[in-house]
Amino acid sequence: MELVEAIILSVLAASTPLLIAATGELVAERSGVLNLGVEGMMIVGAACGFADAWLTGSILVGALFGIVAGTLMSLVFAVMALGLAVNQVATGLALTILGIGLSGLIGAGFVGERITPAAHLIIPGLTDVPLIGRVLFGQDAFVYFSIALIIGVWWFLYRTRAGLILRACGDNHVSAHALGYPVLRIRTLAVMFGGACAGLAGAYLPLAYTPFFIPGMTAGRGWIALALVVFSSWRPGRLVVGAYLFGAATILQLHAQGWGVGIPSQFMSALPYLATVIVLVLLSRARTGGSTAPAALGTVFVPDR
Amino acid sequence: MQLVLEKRAERSNTIALISPLIAIGLTIATMVILFAILGKNPLLALHAYFIAPLTDGYSLQEIAVKATPLVMIAIGLSLCYLANAWNVGAEGQFLIGAVAGSWIAVKTQGTDAGAWVLPAMLVLAAAAGALYALIPAICKVKFDASEILTSLMLVYVADLFLDYLVRGPWRDPHGFNFPTTAEFDPVATVPLLIEGGRLHLGSIIALLVVAAAAVLLRRTIKGFEIRVVGAAPRAARFGGFNANQLVILTFAVSGALAGLAGIIEVAGPVGHLQPGISPGYGFTAIIVAFLGRLNPLGILIAGLFLALTFIGGEQAQIAMKIPLDVTKVFQGILLFYVLACDSLILYRFKLVLPNRQVARGAG
């Protein structure tokens, strides 16, 4: 019983950064922009978030700075990919290379420091209910926020006019432009939202997941978040399922080591990455009648005047 | 005020030539600001980065040693990018090549195996790199799975596999518990070119690769196909060129080159297999490929320049205590500026004043 609860709790914690980062990227990709810089934005968010939380002693300030850092990084991307019409794949890779360097530079003075991680909710009575108590009423604020975020994004995309326009930009920027919608401005906002989410997802790692910062601590989670968006076929509902499945794969690997499974730890650690490859193959194959990706995804748009 | 792009009637060749220089100039200007923020004298720092390594023979050799893997990997990547195939997992192919080649070195250790050992290591490493690169290529061609994501995921897998080998079955029993294989035997080592120096045969191989790529791209039909498929996919389809086949081919070649670079690094400058054999060569090579304009000669020059930043970064760390990560920031910023300046080749930048914008909106 306690083991099941412990596993569910750790799956939730491992899934949350994936869910937050992938939600942001989903919005950006729905507007037609492929930002491959998620890993870079996340890792800068992690470094800035930890540095500020350590300096101010506040998790909230740390989280906010993580968001700001991710947003600033995404603005660099927006200027390049949208303002200057540079190839989005190359720009996204540049953002990740830059982000890894920047996070090393920012975080260098903070390696080895510790903070008190984000507090978990405690509601006397409810939190103590066996099995479901701590799962439902004993999480940190990031976990609840991530759920609210994906519900909010679903509502925005499918139930608001602005969401409809954003999706239109992603499916056919020429038509959206002809109808008078400011395609580049909408895409810039979508990219900034993606950056804010990636920054927060990165900040989650040192602020709630582990109470310290190490260089390279995102360990490819940004890329897994990108794969999750493909996995979800660009739909928020499936994104939740995907994020928790991947979180479970990560935790399975950790627990298998604890149970003394006779497989070298490195092979277990490779599981989430191999799972990503397999899932990408299976999903891309399962899709019939063409891809479900936004039709204008990753294409350059220069409005003619 | 708003920045507007205007498509040029034809690509500007003048700007194509000078844009990498503009990019380097802008990067250095940005670095001056960064050094000032870090509280270091920018002039001294620039000297440590770009001038000091060029002033003595030892550093010059080090630059050539560092440029060797960068150029070899970047040549392969440039073929992929020309054909519009996005191999970004060269780091993984480099590591797998290093592992595969090392297998022979480890197995023949201490035996009196002959001169065949090193050539066999090179061949096996290239084959392993090619096979590893074929995984994302086949996933793309057969299942339409994003080669960007799959090739990247395989970097982490390769890294963990190498880690497993040097901590487990291949660990040197006399290595004081360090995760490393024993030093390779002399027959399993890339020979040096200069007695007492560090310059090795790999640099010659890299030059041969550059020459071969130049011939392939300029003088052969395959090279023409690669360029057409990337630049004008529709025209290529009408021409009957098979884009999928080129994805497979360019991935295999770039994987083979990355794998070869991997074993040359391990059997050359490093001398044994251990984690951390690559300071991100596979990713830096992406910058080299773009800075070199996906052109073999350009890549050679760009590879030497990026190698200079590695060596300069080390010198700046020793002389001025500038953190090593500044080199990565430098490389990231450089790639941004290179890409931004590339935009100038296709577009003219124009600033539009807001009142005109409003007038247009009303009209």
DSSP code string of A67-114 = HHHHHHHHHHHHIIIIIS---HHHHHHHHHHHHHHHHHHHHGGGTT-B
Place of tokens 């500020």: A52
- At A142 the pLDDT is 92
* Mean pLDDT, chain A, whole residue set: 89
**A105 contact residues in B (CB cutoff 8 A):** 323, 325-326, 329
Token couple for A213: 């910062």
Residue of chain B minimizing CA distance to A107: B325
- For A288-303, what is each residue's pLDDT tens digit? 444 578 888 888 888 8
- The type of residue at A61 is V
Nearest to A194 by CA among A77, A30, A27: A27
Would you give the distance in Å from CA B102 to the centre of its chain?
A: 21
- The type of residue at A109 is G
Token couple for B125: 């490493």
Q: How far apart are CA B215 and CA B207, in angstroms?
A: 13
Q: How far apart are CA B307 and CA B325, in angstroms?
A: 15
Number of CB pairs < 8 Å for A and B?
148
Residue of chain A minimizing CA distance to B166: A266
> Model confidence at A188, in pLDDT bands (50, 70, 90)?
very high
Q: How far apart are CA B263 and CA B272, in angstroms?
A: 10
- For A25-52, what is each residue's pLDDT tens digit? 999 999 999 999 999 999 999 999 999 9
> Model confidence at A260, in pLDDT bands (50, 70, 90)?
low
Q: Which residues contact A11 (CB under 8 A, 6 or more apart)?
A: A244, A247, A248, A251
CA angle A209, A215, A220 (to 5 degrees): 70
Tell me the residues of chain B between 233 and 292 that have a Cβ less than 8 Å away from chain A: 283-284, 286-287, 290
Q: Is the ipTM above a cut-off of 0.90? A: no
Over range A147-158, report the average pLDDT: 96
CA angle B115, B120, B121 (to 5 degrees): 105
- The type of residue at A242 is G
Q: How far apart are CA B64 and CA B308, in angstroms?
A: 9
- At B233 the pLDDT is 82
Residue of chain B minimizing CA distance to A106: B325
Host H or E run for residue A156:
helix A141-159
- Record: contact B160-A270, CB cut-off 8 A: yes
- Record: contact B86-A89, CB cut-off 8 A: yes
Would you give the distance in Å from CA A102 to the centre of its chain?
A: 19
Over range A238-256, report the average pLDDT: 85
- For A83-110, what is each residue's pLDDT tens digit? 999 989 889 989 999 999 999 999 888 8
Strands B347-352 and B2-7, sheet pairing? antiparallel
Below-50 pLDDT ranges, chain B: 356-363
Token couple for A44: 């800068």
**A98 contact residues in B (CB cutoff 8 A):** 328-329, 332-333, 335-336
Q: How far apart are CA A148 and CA A228, in angstroms?
A: 18
Residue of chain B minimizing CA distance to A79: B340
